[in-house]
């Protein structure tokens, strides 16, 4: 059985009295998720997340300390055990460029993002990030 590790981020901004989240839709499969990608040789988890954000949506991000969420799941179609590490990030600007691998990018409220995300594990990570932000 093969194993893979990816890193990515829940990107947010506080806008007026609300929090908005940025999610992406992959062309392949059409799934809505967070920007993420495979760890390259010699990269830290944080470096991978920041690189993937830049490659997928062209944004320079800043990782907030004290939040790190890890998802682990099995992909039956490829017999891969996958681990994905997520950080919570802010960006200076919401002006993004979309990579060819993406079909869409959306900036949504917590409730809208929760409805739009495809997988329950992504919804659980979003809920933890939202609770963390609400408490800080």
Q: What domains can you pick out in the chain, each with its CATH number?
A: 2-135 (3.90.79.10)
* pTM given for the model: 0.91
What per-residue confidence (pLDDT) applies to 120?
94
pLDDT at 77 over 90: no
The pLDDT of residue 1 is above 90: no
Residue 80 scores a pLDDT above 90: no
pLDDT, tens digit (0-9, with 9 covering 90-100), for 36-48 = 999 999 999 999 9
Of 46-50, 55-59, 77-81, the range with the lowest mean pLDDT is: 77-81
> Could you tell me where the DSSP H helices lie in the chain?
45-57, 110-116, 120-135
């Amino acid at each position: 059985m093969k194993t893979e590790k990816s890193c990515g981020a829940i990107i947010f901004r506080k806008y007026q009295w609300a929090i908005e989240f940025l999610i992406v839709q992959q062309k392949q499969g059409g799934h809505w998720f967070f920007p993420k990608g495979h760890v390259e040789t010699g990269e830290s988890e944080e470096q991978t997340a920041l690189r993937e954000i830049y490659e997928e949506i062209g944004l320079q991000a800043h990782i907030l300390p004290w939040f790190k969420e890890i998802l682990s799941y099995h992909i039956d179609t490829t017999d891969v055990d996958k681990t994905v590490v997520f950080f919570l990030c802010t960006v200076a600007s919401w002006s993004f460029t979309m990579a060819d691998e993406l079909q869409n990018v959306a900036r949504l409220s917590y409730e809208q993002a929760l409805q739009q995300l495809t997988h329950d594990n992504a919804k659980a990570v979003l809920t933890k990030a939202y609770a963390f932000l609400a408490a800080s």
